[in-house]
Every structure is written in structure tokens, then in C-alpha cells.
């Protein structure tokens, strides 16, 4: 962890097993989310301990937006979203064919405008919060 823009670093705890992606909370500096081959975990103590919040399937990405929305892609289950306060994930889209999403960005001026990149090297866009997708390119 670094609290000085990367000038110094310290080890704060163990990483979750088979880590794929990390995201920091938008609301709490001690909260971190980890996408792993086994699910999605959260640490509320700066990475010292981890609690599983989505279990049983790989999670290929996790992203937190400035408004406190947590997005994750559950392989076989689709794209899900929750407010940080609740961590009660609801599906946004399962109609992404056989794609595995690797990256996600939400337009900071329009939360319904979402961009994703998949393992197939394609980029998709949604203008309705993730319900429907248009391929932008490869």
C-alpha cells in the first residue's frame, strides 16, 4: 500500500488467492475489492483481512466508480453492480455471449454510459446502464 502517491510502499497483509484484479473504494480509504478465480472479496481494513462476498465463480474484473457503485464481471453470471453501502449485487447484463470482460469504464458524466473490453480484444459500449451493448471495434 502507498499513501504518498507511490513514493513509499508497505506490505499490509496477504493477497487473496488467485488474484485477478483490485479496486479501491470511492468512499472509504481502507476498503479494497479483489476479483479472484474463486469470486469477489472485500477488505475493510486496508488489505489485512478479506471477506468473500461473491463465491463459487471466477470474477474477471472489479471497478468502483466515484459515486460508490461497484461493478464486477462474474464468469458465467454476467456483469453485476451494487452500491458500496449494500454490497447486494444485481445483474446488469448476461447477454454478452461468450465474452469474459477484463476492463470496465463508466462515463463520469453519465453513469448509464459504460465501456468494456473483453478477452476477445473487442470493445463494447452501453448507453443504458449495461442492459444492451454495441461493439465499437477490435
pLDDT at 116: 95
pLDDT of residue 3: 82
The domain ranges of the chain are 19-132
Q: Which numeric CATH code is attached to 19-132? A: 2.120.10.30
- Stretches where the chain sits below pLDDT 50 are none
Question: Looking at residue 96, what is its pLDDT?
Answer: 82
Question: How much is the pTM?
Answer: 0.91
Q: Which three cell numbers stand for residue 112?
A: 448509464
- The pLDDT of residue 95 is 66
Q: pLDDT, tens digit, for every residue of 62-97?
A: 999 999 999 999 998 899 999 999 999 999 886 687
Q: Give the model's pLDDT for residue 82.
A: 96
Q: Give the E-state strand segments of 6-133 in sequence order.
A: 19-24, 32-36, 39-43, 51-55, 59-64, 69-74, 78-83, 90-93, 101-106, 114-118, 123-126
Amino acid at each position: 500500500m502507498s499513501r504518498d502517491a507511490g513514493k513509499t510502499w508497505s506490505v499490509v497483509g496477504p493477497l487473496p488467492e488467485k488474484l485477478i484484479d483490485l479496486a479501491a473504494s470511492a468512499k472509504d480509504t481502507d476498503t479494497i475489492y479483489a476479483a479472484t478465480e474463486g469470486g469477489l472479496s472485500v477488505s475493510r481494513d486496508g488489505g489485512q483481512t478479506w471477506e468473500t462476498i461473491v463465491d463459487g465463480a471466477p470474477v474477471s474484473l472489479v471497478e468502483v466508480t466515484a459515486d460508490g457503485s461497484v461493478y464486477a464481471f462474474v464468469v458465467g453470471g454476467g456483469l453485476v453492480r451494487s452500491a458500496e453501502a449494500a454490497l447486494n449485487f444485481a445483474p446488469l447484463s448476461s447477454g454478452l455471449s461468450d465474452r469474459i470482460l477484463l476492463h470496465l469504464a463508466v462515463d463520469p458524466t453519465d453513469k448509464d454510459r459504460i465501456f468494456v473490453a473483453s478477452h476477445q480484444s473487442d470493445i463494447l459500449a452501453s448507453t443504458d446502464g449495461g442492459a444492451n451493448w454495441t461493439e465499437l471495434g477490435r
